[in-house]
Amino acid sequence: MSKIQLDVIVNQRGNRTDGFINYGQKADLSFYQIPVIIVEGGKPGKTLLVDGAMHGDETEGSEAIIRLAGELEGKEFAGTFIGVPALNMEAFTIVRRATLTDEFNLNRVFPGRKDQYITHYLAAHYMERVVSHVDAVINFHGGGDVLHLEPLCAFLPFDSPDDTAAKISYEMAKAFNVKYLWSQQNLPFAGITSLEYKKAFNIPTIIPEVGSQCSRLHNRQRDIEICYNGIKNVMAYFGMIPPTGQAPVENKDHIELNYLHSRNGGLMTPIKKEGEYFEAGDLLCVIDDIFGNRVEELYAPWKGVGIGFWSVPVIHPGDWCSLAGKLIDPPKDYKA
C-alpha cells in the first residue's frame, strides 16, 4: 500500500485512487492543492513518482501521466505508480511558468521552507508528503512558451564512483530513450528537484525536458508519445512492467547543457538550431534592435550541438538566447 495520504479523495476504483493534497487555505476558504493519482500494481516492487507541470506552461509530461495512469488502471504490475499531472496547479491553470501569487520559480526553491512564500511551502510540503515515500522520480519539464528544446534527459552527476543514486539515475536516463543525455554538472542555479531529492533522501531522479510552445503546433502528440514511452521504459528498467520492446535511440550524445544569455534586447534570430552541430567560434544567434542595427552576435565557446533557443522574436537582456550542449564523454568506471 502506498504511504502517501490524500486529504481529498475524488475517485477510488479498483487499484486506482485520485485525489488532492492540500497545502494552504486561501482567503475564500478553498485550498492550494496538489492533484495525485495512485495506481497500485498488486505485486511487490518500486514506487515510482512521475510529475509534470512544475512549470505551468510545460504540459507534455502531464498528458503522458494521465494517459499511462488510465492504462495501468485495473492492470496488475509490480510496485506503485504515483502520478502528479500538475504539481504547480496554480501556474498550470493560468498557463504560466510560475504562479501569480508570488511568481517564484518552483524549480529553484527546493527543498522549500514552511515559513516563507507559498511556492517555498509547496516545495517543502511536496518533499514531506510525497517525495519522501517513493523510490525514484521522473520530474518532467520542457521549453514552455518561450524556449524550443530538443528532447533530452538529465541525470544526477556522480559525486563518487560508488554513487548509487547517480548510477541508477544514469540508467534511468538511458532507459528513457532520447538522443541527448545531460549530467547536471555546473548548474547555474540552485534549488533543483533532482539534487535536493538526492541530498534529502538519496532518491534517484531524472529530469526529461520534452516539448515547447515552438513544437506544439505540429509535434504535440510526438512529444507526449516520447514522455509516455519514456515512463514505460523506466518502469521496465525497474521491473515494474515487462520490457516495452521500443527500439533504442542510437548514437546518444552526452552533453553538458549550457544556458547562454543575451546581453542586449531586441529581435533575436537563431543561426544554429536544434540538432545542429557546431565548432568553437561558430555563430549561434544574432540580435538586432528596433531600427535594424546589429547589437549582438553570440559565438560558440566550444564544440557542441544545439539543444534549444529562445523561440519568440523579442528577447530581453539576460534571457536565455541559446541552450548549447557541450559534447562530453559518458560516465564510466562507476560501481554498481
Query: What percent of the chain is predicted at pLDDT more than 90?
Result: 90
Tens of pLDDT along 285-329? 999 999 999 999 999 999 999 999 998 999 999 999 999 999 999
* Secondary structure E strands in the chain: 8-13, 16-25, 31-40, 42-51, 77-84, 136-139, 147-149, 152-155, 180-183, 205-209, 253-261, 266-270, 277-278, 283-288, 294-299, 304-310, 314-315, 320-327
Question: What is the DSSP code string of 95-110?
Answer: T-SS-TTT---GGGST
Look at the domain 8-237 and name its fold.
Answer: Aminopeptidase (3.40.630)
336 — pLDDT class (breaks 50, 70, 90) = low
Say what the pLDDT of residue 333 is. 77
What integer is the mean pLDDT of 10-26?
A: 97
Q: Name which of 5-14, 153-162, 216-225 the model is least confident about.
A: 216-225
Tens of pLDDT along 125-160? 999 999 999 999 999 999 998 998 899 999 999 999
Give the CA diameter of the chain: 66
CATH class of 257-327: mainly beta
Residue ranges, comma separated, of all CATH 2.40.50.100 domains in the chain are: 257-327
Amino acid residing at 172 = M
Say what the pLDDT of residue 223 is. 95
219 — pLDDT class (breaks 50, 70, 90) = confident
Residue ranges, comma separated, of all CATH 3.40.630.10 domains in the chain are: 8-237
